[in-house]
Amino acid sequence: MNLNPDQVKKLLSQMLLIRRFEEKAAEMYTKEKIRGFLHLYIGEEAVAVGVLQALQPDDNVMCTYREHGHALVRGMEPGVIMAEMYGKLEGCSRGRGGSMHLFDAKTKFYGGNAIVAGHLAMAVGLGLADKKLQRNQITCCFFGEGAMAEGAFHEAMNLAALWQVPVLFVCENNLYAMGTALRYTHAQQDLEKKGAAYGIASSSVDGMDLMAVMQAANEAVDSIRQTGQPHFLVCNTYRFRAHSMFDAELYREKKEVEEWKQRDPITSFKELLLQQKMLNDEDYQAIEKQVQQEVEQAVAFAESCSFEPVEELLKYTYSEKAN
């Protein structure tokens, strides 16, 4: 893995964009511009950036309801994502999905799926279609460790292994299934073993370390492309914010959060780059400024957008093209 200065700056700016974008989203939530549920990814940025850089534009991506970061890294416009969270017509899903249901056909971004583990079997199906149609594509499916307690996870793993489909399963283990700690939800806390139990190549990585995630993701993706077989990758990470906005965080100590914040993936990567003279303060300030601008523009865009006329309420329940 060789990264030139432009590449590292891009990676840093992608992580920073997720951070600032979500901070702004939280603000707009408290101001009631954004409603519904809002799940923030802050703290976990290295996972989305590190994994998605390994993919090609033709590959499929499926995410959970904590997917703003993935959508941004995948190349969806920040303004279009913000507009979606505002419920506006110009949003990626015409405002009908909101924060939890970002979709984008152009970047093959299949949501934004908000029933835990419900999308894993669909990822198997996308892989099955690619296999049947002999397309050299892989499907990358993100989920949290909470999903691994669901039956749907186990069914999907079994089918993926049985049918040998090119799917990268990425577990973002942030230690809390909503508000319940890993130790209270899994008998076997060595999550990697659960993929291996189905005969799926499995690995785990420090999800706070961008370079490590990239390395692990690249290896996994290479192997899937070569063998056509699934891979299970556990990224151990931490969310700095509450599960969703309305969360008193009674389930974890402030001290624990502070300790994990010491391992902030953005700060760590920035320090690494400064240390390695790949970046100077001026560069960093420029990136900050650029990111801030993008976020402000996203908000301005969302504000300027329109709401879909209520007369169109019933649209998109069935396809319009008649057969």
Partner 1 sequence: MLEYKMPSLGADMESGFLREWHVKPGDRIRKGDIIAEVETQKGIIEIEVFEEGIIGELLVNLDEQVPVGRSMATILTEEEAASGKAIPAAGVKAPIPETAAQAVPAEEGAQRAEGPAIPEHAPESHHIRASPLAKRVAAEKGIDIATVHGTGPEGAITRDDVEHAIAAQAAPAKAAREAKEEAPAKPAIPKEKTPTPATIPDTKAEVASPSIPEPAAPIPTAKASASADTIRMAVAAAMGKSNREIPHYYLETKIDMSKALAWLSETNKQRPVKERLLPAALLIKAVAKALNDIPELNATWENGLQRKELINVGYVVALRTGGIMVPTIHETDTKTLDEIMQALNDLIPRARALRLRSSELADSTITVTSLGEAGVEVVYGVIYPPQVALVGFGGITEQPWSENGMLTVRPILTATLAADHRASDGSTGSKFLTAIKNYLQQPDKL
Partner 2 sequence: MAGNLITYRECIKQAIREALLADERVFMMGEDVGHYGGAFAVSKNLLQEFGPERIMDTPLSEAGFVGAGIGAALGGMRPIVEIMTVNFSLLALDQIANNAATLLHMSGGQFNVPLVIRMSTGIGRQLAAQHSHSWEPLFAHLPGLRILSAGTHEDARHMLAPALADPDPVIIFEYTSLLNMEKELPEDLTGVDIQKAKVRREGKDISIFTYGTGVYKSLTAAEELAQAGIEVEVVDLRVLRPLDEETIVASVTKTNRAFVVEDASKSVSVSSEVSARIMERCFYELDAPVQRLCGAEVPIPYPKHLEDASVPQPAQIVSAIKTLLQHA
122 binds, among partner 2, partner 1, none (CB under 5 to 8 A by kind): partner 2
Contacts of 83 (CB under 8 A, 6+ apart): 89, 90, 91, 92, 95, 301, 302, 305
Q: Coil, strand, or helix at residue 19?
A: helix
By CB under 8 A, the count of residues binding partner 1 is 16
Phi, psi torsion values for 168, nearest 5 degrees: -100, 115
77 binds, among partner 2, partner 1, none (CB under 5 to 8 A by kind): none
Least distance from partner 2 to the Cβ atom of residue 137, Å: 9
Options 127, 144, 195, 230; binder of partner 2; rule CB under 8 A: 127
> What 3 state SS string does 39-77 have?
CCCCCCHHHHHHHHCCCCCCCEEEECCCCHHHHHHHCCC
Q: Which of 115, 106, 131, 16 is nearest to 63 (CA)?
A: 115
Tokens of 272: 């690494």
Q: Cβ closer to partner 2: 132 or 261?
A: 132
What sections of the chain are H helices per DSSP? 5-30, 45-52, 68-74, 78-86, 120-132, 151-163, 182-185, 192-196, 210-227, 254-261, 265-275, 281-304
Which residues are bridge partners to 142 per DSSP? 170
Options 3, 26, 129, 201; binder of partner 2; rule CB under 8 A: 129
Interface mask toward partner 2 for 260-299; x: CB under 8 A? ----------------------------------------
Asked if 178 is part of the footprint of partner 2 (rule: CB under 8 A), the reply reads no
Interface mask toward partner 1 for 20-49; x: CB under 8 A? ---x--xx-xxxx--xx-------------
By CB under 8 A, the count of residues binding partner 2 is 49
Asked if 293 is part of the footprint of partner 1 (rule: CB under 8 A), the reply reads no
Quick check: 220 and 233 in contact, CB under 8 A? yes
Q: Cβ closer to partner 2: 14 or 99?
A: 99
Least distance from partner 1 to the Cβ atom of residue 118, Å: 22
* CA dist., res. 90 & res. 83, Å (int): 6
31 binds, among partner 1, partner 2, none (CB under 5 to 8 A by kind): partner 1
Q: Cβ closer to partner 2: 69 or 111?
A: 111
Quick check: 115 and 151 in contact, CB under 8 A? no
Asked if 255 is part of the footprint of partner 1 (rule: CB under 8 A), the reply reads no
Residues forming the site for partner 2 (CB under 8 A): 60, 91-97, 101, 103-105, 110-113, 115, 118-130, 132-133, 139, 151-152, 155-156, 158-159, 162-163, 315-321, 323
